[in-house]
Chain A
C-alpha cells in the first residue's frame, strides 16, 4: 500500500506551459518535503513545508501544504527543459528521519 500517492505518474508537456503535481495521503504528516531526482543521481531537496496551508515559492515553483497536512501540490509556471526530472514527495510523521515516500512523478519538458 502506497501511503503517499503522487499524480500524475508521468507528464510530458511543452516548454512554457504550466503544470501541477499532486501528493495525497489519508495520513497526517508533521512535515512534507519535495525532492527532484535526475537520472544517475540521488534526490535533491527542494523544499520542506511544515504548517497546514503553508505556501512556499522557489522561483517558478510553488509548493502548497494542505490545511489538514495530508496533501501537497507542486505548481511549476512556464516550465523549462531544465525542469525535467523525477519529482518525489516525502512525508514525515513521528520522527523526521523516517520519511514516507511517494513513487514520484516523471516530468519531461519538451523544447
Chain B
C-alpha cells in the first residue's frame, strides 16, 4: 500500500509570504504528526492530531504556524509571514494509533522549505 506522501517536495518562497504544506497519511491511520528537521538535527515535534483534533500543538513555535486536519485524513501545515529561520525540512508522519504501547511512526519524504 501507499506510504505517507507530502506535497510539494520542495518549496522556495520569499520572506513574508504564506505557504501551505500538505500531508496524505496512510489510509486508516488515526494519528498524524508534523515535525521539523533542520540540517544536522533530529526531528523537532510540532503538532499531533488524533482524528480531526489537534491533541497536542505544544511544539508549534509561534502563532504564525497553524495546522488543520478537517476530515481526519489529509493535513495541511500553514505558515504565515514566513521568515528565513523557517527554512527546514517539514516531515509528516502517521501511525495507527497515538496511544501508548510502542507507537510506530511512518514518515513521509518531507517538504524542503527554503525562505529567501
Chain A residues proximal to chain B, CB less than 8 Å: 4, 30-31, 40-45, 48, 50, 88, 90, 92, 95-99, 101-104
Contact = CB atoms under 8 A, between A and B. Distances in A.
Interface residues of B, number: 28
Interface stretch (B65-73, B80-88, B96-104): B96-104
A50 B102 CA distance: 8
B43 A43 contact: yes
Given A42-B109, A99-B45, A104-B42, A48 B91 contact: no
Contacts, number: 63
Interface of B: 4, 31, 33, 40-45, 48, 55-56, 91, 93, 95, 98-110
Secondary structure type dominating chain A contacts: loop
A35 to B, nearest CB: 8
Contacts of A43: 43, 91, 105, 107
Contacts of A95: 98, 100
A83 to B, nearest CB: 19
Nearest to B98: A97
A31 B107 contact: no
A31 B104 contact: no
Given A31-B102, A96-B100, A96-B101, A44 B44 contact: no
Contacts of A42: 4, 91, 93, 107-110
Contact of A96 (B102, B107, B108): B102
A103 B39 CA distance: 10
Contacts of A44: 107
B50 to A, nearest CB: 9
Contacts of A30: 100
A77 B28 CA distance: 37
Contacts of A101: 42-44
A92 B104 CA distance: 12
Contacts of A104: 40-42
Given A48-B102, A97-B33, A104-B40, 12 more contacts: A41-B107, A41-B109, A43-B105, A45-B104, A48-B104, A92-B103, A96-B100, A96-B101, A98-B45, A101-B43, A104-B41, A104-B42
